[in-house]
């Protein structure tokens, strides 16, 4: 079955780059997503990448996809204290008709 794994914690200093990693098992994934969740809030869609792409950049966010290794990463440049949150990686497959598989989330702590 599908499985999505992330490391649970990441701590960086303000101004540094953060890299959050995710691995997935199902090679038929169609889309891969990054969501951000701040305490007490819902999930905010940050960005997504289609499985036939290698890279996507959106302002401070860069998503890299290595389909061969089934590895997805999210790089946040110039990390700010407001970036402190839980980041979830998720995959969806065309055949799954609306079911996405989420990783357990990476808690990013940004220290001033």
Partner 1 sequence: DTEVTQTPKHLVMGMTNKKSLKCEQHMGHRAMYWYKQKAKKPPELMFVYSYEKLSINESVPSRFSPECPNSSLLNLHLHALQPEDSALYLCASSQDAGGRTDTQYFGPGTRLTVL
Q: Which residues bind partner 1 (CB under 8 A)?
A: 30-31, 33, 35, 40-45, 48, 86, 88, 92, 94-100, 102-105, 107
Nearer to partner 1, 64 or 93 (CB): 93
Nearer to partner 1, 88 or 110 (CB): 88
Radius of gyration in angstroms for the set of CA atoms belonging to the chain, rounded to a whole number: 14
Nearer to partner 1, 22 or 110 (CB): 22
Nearer to partner 1, 86 or 110 (CB): 86
CB of 88 to partner 1, least distance (A): 6
CB of 87 to partner 1, least distance (A): 11
Q: What is the DSSP letter of 66?
A: E
* Cα 42 to Cα 54, 86, 88, 99, distances in angstroms: 28, 11, 12, 18
CB of 33 to partner 1, least distance (A): 7
């Amino acid at each position: 079955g599908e499985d999505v794994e992330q490391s649970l914690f990441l701590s960086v200093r303000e101004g540094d780059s953060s890299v959050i990693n995710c691995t997935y098992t199902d090679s038929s994934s169609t889309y891969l997503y990054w969501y951000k969740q701040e305490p007490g809030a819902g999930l905010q869609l940050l960005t997504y990448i289609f499985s036939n792409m290698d890279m996507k950049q959106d302002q401070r966010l860069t998503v890299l996809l290595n389909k061969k290794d089934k590895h997805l990463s999210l790089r946040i440049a110039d990390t700010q204290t407001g970036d402190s949150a839980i980041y979830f990686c998720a995959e969806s497959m065309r055949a799954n008709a609306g079911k996405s598989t989420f990783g357990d989330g990476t808690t990013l702590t940004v220290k001033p």
